[in-house]
Structure 1
Amino acid sequence: MTAVLVYDGDCGFCTTCVRFIERRMRVRARITAWQAADLAALGVTEERARHELLWVSGSGVYGGAQAVAKLLLHAGLPWSPIGAILRLPPVRWLAHGVYRLVAGNRHRLPGGTAACALDDPLKR
């Protein structure tokens, strides 16, 4: 199975990050917005896809900071060592907290809009 990176295509911040990934990394994965993905075929719920970046591969579904770690691991040098470090405790725990902080405030970050807010009722 080819890995799939699933992101929020309605979020300007997420889309800006994906454009960076496409320009700067050699990612061996399909990148798709959750809104255009067959979530059932990927084994992912819409609720989960709304709230975190997902890395779906033959080895499972990884969300949030661990999805970022998997992405970096599969992007090759110079990114893969960063991905390996993000998988190790206590860095893993810190990465989870930072991811949650960024995700909860993505509408305030560069490229973000009101549509990026996780609690946006229009996204339900």
Structure 2
Amino acid sequence: MFLFDADCGFCTRCSELLERASAKGAYDVVAWQDADLEAVGLTPEQCQEASWFVSKDGSLHRGSDGIGRALREGAIGLRPVGVLLTLPGVRVLARAVYRWVARNRHLMPGASDKCRMPEGGR
């Protein structure tokens, strides 16, 4: 399951792209506000700070690591992109880019003031 912030227009648009790119039935793309967070071991605060991918085995993958994992488990044509995001050098860069985008998501296309990170957010 891929969890995103439905209060953020930018996050919603990105999750729609991920859902279209995923293999049918590989995983669900769900707003964290509609998910049973306690059942997967997450808090609303964690979900406000980043998107999450919950693997079938229950393991949690945050931010760019979660996007990479979702791509690896999705459509066969995008699996190499998911693998690329997990390579050591690329992973460091992907995490930095994700943090920057998360902090600035309110400035991205389709965003609104609701997209702002909570005070103290990373």
Same fold? TM cut 0.5: yes
Q: Which SS does the other structure have where 1:44 is aligned?
A: coil
Indicate the residue corresponding to 1:118 in structure 2.
117
Q: 1:35 aligns with which of 33, 36, 41?
A: 33
Amino acid at match of 2:62: G
Indicate the residue corresponding to 2:101 in structure 1.
102
Q: Deviations over 1:71-93 (max 9, x none)?
A: 11011332110110111111100
Q: How does 1:46-57 map to 2 (within 5 A)?
A: 46-57=44-55
Higher normalized strand content (fraction of residues): 1
Residue identity (%): 38
Indicate the residue corresponding to 2:88 in structure 1.
89
Q: Give the gaps of 5 or more residues in structure 1.
A: none
Indicate the residue corresponding to 2:60 in structure 1.
61
Amino acid at match of 1:55: F
Whether contact under 8 Å (2:48, 2:117) holds in the other structure is yes
Deviates more, 1:54-63 or 1:7-16: 54-63
Instruction: Count the aligned residue pairs.
Output: 117
Q: Give the gaps of 5 or more residues in structure 2.
A: none
Give the aligned CA root-mean-square deviation in angstroms.
1.4
Deviation at 1:119, TM superposition (A): 2.5
Q: Which SS does the other structure have where 1:62 is aligned?
A: strand
Separation in 1, partners of 2:75, 2:16: 17
Deviation at 1:22, TM superposition (A): 2.5
Q: Deviations over 1:5-55 (max 9, x none)?
A: 110011000111112222333251111111111100011111111110100
TM-score by length of 1: 0.88
Amino acid at match of 1:12: G
Q: How does 1:13-28 map to 2 (within 5 A)?
A: 13-26=10-23, 28=26
Separation in 2, partners of 1:88, 1:43: 26
TM-score by length of 2: 0.89
Indicate the residue corresponding to 2:42 in structure 1.
44
